[in-house]
Amino acid sequence: VGARDDGGLTRTRAERRTQDVAPALESDWREFRAQLLARERAVTPEEERARAAAVSEENLKVLETQNPRLAASAPWAHVIGAPEKGCLLVAADHEFRMSQQYFHQAVILVLEHHENGSMGVILNRPTQYDMGYVSGEANGPFAKNALYFGGDVGDGTVSFLHGREDVKGSVEVLPGVYLGGYDSACELVQQDGSTCHADEFKFFARYCGWAPGQLESECERGVWFPVAAAKELSLKQVIQLPKPLWREISELCGGELEEMARKAYQTYEAEQTFSLDNLDADERATDE
């Protein structure tokens, strides 16, 4: 059955369904949601892209040398109302200063979130170890990959993230981000290292876990800010970033999180200056 549009042309229902779908929804609906939020703030897409580019400029330069494919996409992030599978958790700066300090200024990717609880991995806690040391395979395909501390649950567990849809046996966590598929990943890297690089895979020892309702409660209390973000922010290596991942994502979100990051780093820089001044004073006293 045909239907007449405003221009007087007749289109079939199938044609209307195809033409009326927002292009962003065909790839990552979360990015489309980010665009809607930008419109609510009376910010044009061009202005938002320019702001995000300025926030991530130095990190993107590093990413271009590490993983050009990831660097090709524009970064974005915004706060959402509640945690969901595939979102990031940005730790409030005032939390975890005295205990569980591995969570201080942590960024966590939520891998599972349902009525039975939640789990995720910390994205910005690289360890001193690499996969060659952990696996005992000094010449393995991932021997030089950094091993990240994923959380405080699951002794002996190792998981990994990647952006390769051609890795068999992997599970999609959010659009463009996959978990697992080790045998297939090894095969791809070994067979075609020119198009599938080992550094496209990010490995984690252990993970974070929450009981049913616990994560929602912590978010409501302000322990974590749930954030939707571009997949590149989850997949990139965080070693040698000019701007720490926690700060980058907070600034990309703008508003309360950007202000939180600004104050946190103002305090940090002031403390560093104070320490250097005291060191200089001690050295002068010693010389005298």
* Same domain flag for 103 and 222: yes
Q: What is the pLDDT of residue 191?
A: 86
Portion of the chain with pLDDT greater than 90, in percent: 66
Q: What is the pLDDT of residue 46?
A: 83
The answer to whether the CB of 121 falls within 8 A of the CB of 151 is yes
In a domain, residue 153? The reply is yes
Rounded to an integer, what distance in angstroms lies between the CA atom of residue 47 and that of residue 21?
24
- Phi, then psi, of 19 in degrees rounded to 5: -80, -25
- Domains contained in the chain, number: 2
Which long-range contacts (C-beta less than 8 Å, at least 24 apart) are formed by 254-261? 254/51, 254/78, 255/79, 256/79, 256/225, 257/79, 257/90, 257/225, 257/227, 260/92, 260/93, 261/93
Instruction: Average the pLDDT over each of 18-22, 34-38, 111-115, 155-159 and give the range with the smallest value.
Output: 18-22
In a domain, residue 64? The reply is no
In a domain, residue 151? The reply is yes
In a domain, residue 114? The reply is yes
* Same domain flag for 93 and 19: no
87's enclosing H/E stretch is: none
* Same domain flag for 123 and 213: yes
* Same domain flag for 123 and 24: no
Q: Record the pTM.
A: 0.81
User: Domain containing 185 — which CATH number?
Assistant: 3.40.1740.10
* Same domain flag for 106 and 154: yes
pLDDT tens readout for residues 224-256 = 999 999 999 999 999 989 999 999 999 999 999
12's enclosing H/E stretch is: strand 10-12
Domain of residue 207, residue span: 79-241
pLDDT tens readout for residues 59-68 = 999 999 988 8
* Same domain flag for 7 and 96: no
Q: How many Cβ atoms sit within 10 Å of the Cβ of residue 136?
A: 9
Q: Which of 241, 257, 282 is the last residue of a domain?
A: 241
In a domain, residue 68? The reply is no
The answer to whether the CB of 173 falls within 8 A of the CB of 202 is no
In a domain, residue 57? The reply is no
* Same domain flag for 130 and 206: yes
